[in-house]
Structure 1
Amino acid sequence: METFLSETIRTLAKGAYPLLDYTLILPSKRAGGFLNQVLIAQTEKTYFAPTIYSIEDFISQVSGVEIMNTTQVLLEGYKVYNELTPTSFSDYLLWAEPLLNDFNEIDRNLVSPESFFGYLSQIKALERWELKEATPLIKDYLKFWEGLLPFYNAFSQHLLNQGAAYQGLVYRRASEDLSHYLNANGDKPHAFIGFNALNPAEELLIQEMLAQGNSRIFWDLDEFFAQDQNHSVSQFIRGYYERWPYYKAQLFDGKNQSAKYSGITSNHYEKPKNFYFVESDSDQGQIQAMSAVLNDMPLEKINKTAVVLADESLLIPVLYTIPESINSINITMGYPLKAYPGVWFVESLLQWQKTGNKRIHHNHLHKILTHPFGQLLLPSWQNISRWIQKNHQLFIDIDDIIGQVCASERAVIELMFSHKTGEQNMIKNLMSLLDGLSEHKSLSAVDRIGIQKLLDLLQQLYGLARSYGFLAHIGAITALFDHLLSSESLDFEGDAYRGLQIMGVLETRVLDFEHIIMLSVNEGVIPQGKSSASFITYDMKKEFGLPLHTDKDAIYGYHFFRLLQRAQSVSFIYKNSQKGLSVGEPSRFLRLLELTAPETHHIV
């Protein structure tokens, strides 16, 4: 099987420009790593490699502005907002994240902020039109919406003055300053590889680069999907092909319908393939089914196999079920740090510190002591538990706990429960506890990675608390800790280009595998469905041309079917049981796969 990246490099190598002259832009950094491996495999002599960027790094290069991480954006946003409208950091966190995401959305889609926020404030005012007299609460409500444009303008300028901004603002700046980049680099050939759904800023930039006459774009789209006008897989690329001036000369002239998309498509999907639909009654059943498929697979096929997790929370149980015969594994995706059990231990101690009490409820204390981390830190934890049961105390004084442990463990109790050290030292105390834990030889590999990640996060929190004065109290620190947890993940090491690959759906972009095992292929998981973490209503998205949930479904459809184009065998595993919001229904993509499958596909 020749992969999409291999086909692309082979085509570029036959072109008018040497490969080393190109600047290659891909959807992700991981894709760039795989492209480097293709370059190594296709050459027999030493030469300088072309410049390779992820799209984010390229946009940053064009704009001259660095992309700031989400935590810095959140904190810088509070500094600006608090100057305009004094508010507590905890109150700010209640609404800031979705609002900043909306800023990101309108900027990378090049929406006029004046028009957008004016429209939004008018909608909010109309919602209250029937009130004869506005109460102070309603006045504050309307004032909040009217203040968004001044906040956006002040915040944008504040970030740009620092030379770093959130992703959307960097995209907007790149589209505005593109002429500077073209003046300096317009004579150098560029190639854009493996894109699908582009935002308006990316569209503008790529079209301007193509207009220079020395740049190219490579789509990974099969003709089978391109010819189907109703298939969402080709929705975006067909639109570019029919709308961009770059393709005007190649458009269908009415004589040869089959050749309409021949210049931008490949022909792999209709080759013989085996698709296996595997039904399971639980997550554990899915994982066991995956293990059975891997057990039946010859070892020589493992290097050409990917396990794709539509539900990324299954990563840890999947790792424990990989057959022992498979020695080489690479995990591309990260495991959400918030789902790591060790996080509860740190959160519990932070919540205790937040109370400021001198006495702790026996249930809370018991849970801390019986946590695996508590047992490792306090080997005599059972003595404390027996003492609590014997004395029938509802609330326990910390000094009484110290009296029940040996001298070597008293320092640990102080680090856990003392209120005397102040907020920043409290973070250092937690770091000392985790440092002590990391020295235990009985820790599993996952625990070692988890503890190190928590240490890194607390170190980051400590640095932020010193840099931002408004983080000087425990409430702000715990709120920020929760925010950091939601955006961090455990990253596992492995050989990125060899062995069994385990990844999420988005990590599969531009990559190809002969054999695929996909788990949780259920409706509501892939595609994910609607997301409501936004202040932008559906009507506003329609009005300003912002992506709708149907567009996001089409993006997932592209990732799903693109992955099948060059595959030879694919096992789809899904749950049939209903639990909570899960309806136990196979993904609509499986239904579509069955309905549109060519005769060369064998579905079991």
Structure 2
Amino acid sequence: MEKFLELVAQDLYDKLGEKLSSAHVIFPSRRAHLHFNYYLSRLIQKPLWTPRYASIEDFFRELSSFHPADTLLLNYLLYKEYKKIIHSEESFSSFYSFGTILLADFDNVDKYLVNPDQLYTNLKDLKEIEKNFDYLTPEQREALSSYWNTFSKIKTDKQHHLFFLQLWENLADIYHSFKDTLRKDGIAYNGMMARDIIEKIKNNHPPAFPSEKYIFIGFNALTRCEEELFLFLHQQKKALFYWDYDEYYLSHPHHEAGYFLKTYIKKFPNQLKEDHDKNFSVSQKNIHVYAIPSVTGQAKILSSLLPPLLQPETERWDKTVIVLPDEQLLLPVLYSLPEEVQNVNITMGYPVRFSATAGLIKLYLELYRHACKKTEDRNVFYYKYVCDILSHPLVKTCTGNDSQEILSSILTENKIYIPAKELHKNDLLTHLFSLPASPPELPGHLMKLCQLLPADEENSLHDIEKETLYVLYTTLVKFKNLLQKIEETFSADLMIRLVLQLVQPLTLPFEGEPLKGMQIMGLLETRTLDFDNVIILSVNEGILPKNIPPASFIPYNLRKGFGLPTIEHQDAIFAYYFYRLLQRASNIHLTYNCENNKDGLPNEISRYLLQLKYESHLTIQEHPVSYPITFPEKRNIEIQKTETIRQILKKYYGEGNDALSPSAISHYLMCPLRFYFHHIAGLKETEEIEEEADDLILGIIFHGAMEKLYRFFINKELPNNDLKTLLKNKQLIPQTVRNQFAEYFKHHNGKTSSDQIFLQGKNLIVYNVVCKYIKKVIEEDLTNHSSFTLQAVEKECNATFKVNELNIRLTGKMDRIDCLEDGTIRIIDYKTGISKEKKESIEKLFNEKINHHWIQMLIYTLMWKEKHPGQTIYP
């Protein structure tokens, strides 16, 4: 079947012949002219100069006397006009989000030739605004509130509405003043350029149109400016129009795919014959739909879909296309291509934000955002951001063992906040863990980072990363130069946001030969192109079409009333892209994700696919795809007591020097397998940074603090006045606990370690609990006991017991040993948890559910009795 551009090339060559060289051909996008040239080259009999090509955006820029301006500069100039008219004291940083949306509104106002004075007057009087702000999305509300600090100062809804309306009363003045400033500087945004051209045409001062013919190919949804330009050139008999559509959706009165073209075809007649528009009704289509319970699973199915489609003659570019409405699937698709695919052209480019270099920059920005400055020249970084950077593949490749040594040090010493100087092991790490002196110096700092990432043979980077470094560096250079034109203070948050916005749209030219092999495209890039075999992934509602409305502060009712684009326009545009792509295809494979979303509901199938199923009368074969789920057979873990294990156990008796602790015995009694893994096999839990105190750490800090406080009372009779003084001392107990926190979390990097500790969140709760526990113990010793002598704290004790002719060594540390007035020894084991069980006999310790606290106390008692026979012991 003939393709659309093939039909257009044939028709133009038949009508213009060699005069086609002097024509100006305009497409919706820049890419289409490559494919148009392909078809044109197959028609000509002798060499021919190609016509002049342009996208519609480039065409307006050619006609305009203005130069396009960068969005950041436009936002800044808008901010200046806003301050002048509103008399606002807000910073540019807080204005930026609001200004970005306002710029988009102004651009739409101009592209659709809306009278700004009428629009903002209506907006001011609109009852919807007088009632509430419900028409604003959460993102738009956030942009407003982040700009208007006044919002936080206004208390009543009535005042909110008044403030809001006062702002909008001035927007027409801001619009005109802003554009006057741009005119003086000779710069403009796209909508302003287009409107200026149309106004000149209406005022009988049109720009020059030197070409004999202007040929518009494959358009669908036009702005008012584009429509007026078409009309002018049509009236001048200088324009030819080629519309691509199918009778199936154009003749349907309510089909959204034909929403725009119904009007345009009447105003600007199509040059192609009518017999080209019946592809849906006359062509044979094999349509397969796959319900796949996974996002990446849709990419995996390509390995089975593609081989039958890849015949030898499919080296032609217009045979097979994979369309990705969701570009997140690009990498899974590339990894899933079967080996039969020899040539691939990725027209959408490789997103720079997916690269390792961009990932490292994002990690650095997070480090920069959350850095703590303890003194003027001393930066301290939170361990998570440090570890993320040190674990990054590029950093590990470029720093050798340095990054791993620092990571090990952070882990073993349990460092939560790390001084920058401890991280400066080489040039790259020194730069990564340094901060720019001010936010505007951030681009230069990142440029230096790009230079430090090596590309030598020893630490060679992948070609993609080398290209990424070049693209990022050149982009940052332009950004840095632009900042020099803006006389404004930037906050760190705004600078980070601007850098992320710079990286977001960047792509690498990841193309093969554009006119050879299989194509991988985004949906927008398929405009005007046709393929025999079409595979579209992610045909889900919310992706195709997207359900995000235009970012605007103009309410829906006014957008609709003034002819500005709405969500319905967006849906109609995507519907046209979808159906136009299918109309000449023979083999169509559509996949959608049917797994449940985060709300537990199945992802919704796209309305376009449902329309095909129930309205088109085409035969559709549906293929539910499922993955087999197998559960492994449950097996009991059995460890045979081999001779090797027996030899290991000898370390606790015989020739060995090790001893069993009460905890080890408890492990064995409660779970012999746990005893084996920990004490025989030597397996340990993975070490992790403990930034918040859990129950175990609470106990460690409590025990340590109690030892420090009570060791001064060893061999003294208690209670005494010193103990009473300790309870009344409001500084000593808290300071001791802080010191224990500092010791545990390894913050003792100076003379006063506790000054380095960050007590917040759960740690602060634990700190208060430990202080409370200590005071409770002191109060207990002061009030509920007769006099006693403190014999020891944290007393280590060792003993040997003969069991079955084996001398078993035991060891342990007793929290506190008291000697009561009658000579009875009291062994105290502090427990910060809850243990209210009482045992009536020794047998019940072993016959009922094992409580390791009681087992531990029993062993301590036996060990003390072994060393001090004849003493009465009270555990």
TM-score relative to the length of structure 1: 0.88
Note the 1:223-242 alignment, pairs <5 A: 223-242=247-266
- Structure 1 gap ranges (5+): 251-260
Within-5 A mapping of 1:159-558: 159-178=182-201, 184-185=208-209, 188-242=212-266, 244=267, 263=274, 266-270=277-281, 271-300=283-312, 301=314, 303=316, 304-340=319-355, 342-354=357-369, 355=371, 357=373, 358-379=379-400, 380-402=402-424, 405=425, 409=426, 411-419=427-435, 421-423=437-439, 426-439=442-455, 441-470=459-488, 474-531=492-549, 533-558=551-576
**1:390 counterpart letter in structure 2:** T
Distance in 1 (CA, whole Å) between partners of 2:476 and 2:436 is: 19
CA deviation map 1:70-116 (0-9, x unaligned): 34433443344344444212211231222211111111111101011
Q: Which amino acid aligns with 2:279?
A: H
CA displacement at 1:269 relative to structure 2: 2.4
Q: 1:393 to 1:203 in 2, by over 3 A?
A: same
TM superposition shift of 1:469: 2.7
Where structure 2 has 5 or more consecutive residues not aligned to the other structure, the ranges are 134-153, 374-378, 623-875
The 2-side partners of 1:181 and 1:2 are apart by 42
CA-based RMSD:
2.9
- Number of the residue aligned with 1:589: 608
Cα distance change of structure 1 residues 144 and 567 upon mapping to structure 2, 3 Å threshold? same
Distance 1:287 1:178, change over 3 A: same
* 1:110 equivalenced with 2:113 (yes/no): yes
For residues 540 and 135 of structure 1, do their structure 2 counterparts lie closer, same or farther at Cα, with a shift above 3 Å needed?
closer
TM-aligned CA distance change 1:472 to 1:182, over 3 Å? closer
CA deviation after TM superposition for structure 1 residue 576, in Å: 0.8
Alpha-carbon shift at residue 40 of structure 1 (Å): 2.3
Q: Which has the higher contact order (CA 8 A, sep 6+)?
A: 1
Q: CA deviation at 1:375?
A: 1.5
Partner of residue 130 from structure 2, selected from 121, 126, 132: 126
Q: SS where residue 470 of structure 1 aligns?
A: coil
Query: Greater CA deviation, 179-188 or 165-174?
Result: 179-188
Q: Deviations over 1:180-238 (max 9, x none)?
A: 68574377222111011111111111011111224211100122332222222222111
Tell me whether 347-356 or 319-328 shows the greater mean CA deviation.
347-356
Is the alpha carbon distance of 1:420 and 1:27 closer, same or farther for their aligned partners in structure 2, counting shifts above 3 Å?
Answer: closer
2:406–2:423 Cα contact (<8 Å) kept? yes
SS in 1 for 2:54: strand
Q: Which residue of 1 aligns with 2:580?
A: 562
Q: 1:465 to 1:515 in 2, by over 3 A?
A: same
Contact 1:90 1:479 in 2 (8 A): no
Question: For the pair shown, which has the larger CA radius of gyration, 1 or 2?
Answer: 2
Deviation of 1:473 (Å): 5.6
Compared CA separation, residues 181 and 446, structure 1 to 2 (3 A): farther
**Is 1:157 aligned to 2:180, yes or no?**
yes
Q: Is the 8 A contact 1:31 1:511 kept in 2?
A: yes
Q: Distance in 2 between matches of 1:267 and 1:420?
A: 63
Identity %: 29
144-153 vs 428-437, which deviates more? 428-437
**Helix, strand or coil at the partner of 1:345:** helix
Cα-to-partner distance string for 1:252-284 (whole Å, 9 max, x where unaligned): xxxxxxxxx964952322211111111211012
TM-score (norm 2): 0.62
How far apart are 1:55 and its partner, in Å? Answer: 0.6
Correspondence for 2:827: none
Q: Which residue of 1 aligns with 2:79?
A: 78
Return 177-186 or 148-157, whichever deviates more.
Answer: 177-186
Q: Is the 8 A contact 1:450 1:490 kept in 2?
A: yes
- State how far apart, in whole Å, the 1-side matches of 2:210 and 2:411 are: 77
Shift of 1:589: 1.0
Q: In structure 2, what is the equivalent of residue 254 of structure 1?
A: none
CA contact (8 A) 1:309 1:520 kept: yes
Paired amino acid for 2:277: S
**2: CA distance, partners of 1:548 / 1:580:** 28
Structure 2 counterpart of 1:101, from 87, 92, 104: 104
Q: Tell me whether 1:8 sits opposite 2:43 in the alignment.
A: no
For 2:582, give the aligned amino acid: L
Partners of 2:35 and 2:483 in 1: how far apart? Answer: 39
In structure 2, give the amino acid aligned to 1:593: L
What are the Cα deviations for residues 117-163 of structure 1, in whole angstroms up to 9, with x where unaligned? 1222233873489x999987666544332232222112222223333
Post-superposition shift, 1:289? 0.8
2:286 maps to a residue whose letter is: N
C-alpha spacing 1:476/1:187, structure 2 compared with 1 (3 Å): closer
Number of the residue aligned with 1:256: none
Give the aligned residue type for 1:152. Y
Shift of 1:286: 0.3
Q: Cα deviation per residue 1:459-485 (whole Å; 9 max; x = unaligned)?
A: 233222323232566444223213323
Contact 1:384-1:401 at 8 Å conserved across structures? yes
Alignment coverage as a number of residue pairs: 582
**8 A contact 1:62–1:177 mirrored in 2:** no
Distance 1:349 1:298, change over 3 A: closer
Match of 1:253 in 2: none
Summarize deviations over 1:305-342 as a string: whole Å, max 9, x none: 11100111111221122223323211111455445454
Which amino acid is the alignment partner of residue 502 of structure 1? I
Aligned-pair CA distance for 1:521: 0.7
One-letter code aligned to 1:41:
R
Does structure 2 conserve the Cα–Cα contact (< 8 Å) formed by 1:77 and 1:155?
yes
Amino acid at match of 1:551: H
Farther-moved stretch of structure 1 (48-57 vs 70-79): 70-79
Alpha-carbon distance in structure 2 between the residues aligned to 1:306 and 1:20: 30
Distance in 1 between residues matched to 2:218 and 2:582, nearest whole Å: 15
Contact 2:348 2:520 in 1 (8 A): yes
- Counterpart-to-counterpart distance in 2, 1:373 and 1:391: 25
8 Å Cα contact 1:67/1:164 also seen in 2? yes
Tell me the CA shift for residue 47 of structure 1. 2.0
Q: 1:213 to 1:52 in 2, by over 3 A?
A: same
Residues 325, 184 of structure 1: alpha-carbon distance in 2 compared, 3 angstrom cutoff: same
Shift of 1:413: 2.8
Contact 1:516–1:570 (CA under 8 A) maintained in structure 2:
yes
Taking a change above 3 Å as real, the CA distance of residues 506 and 134 of structure 1, as seen in their structure-2 partners, is: closer
- What amino acid is aligned across from residue 501 of structure 1 in structure 2? Q
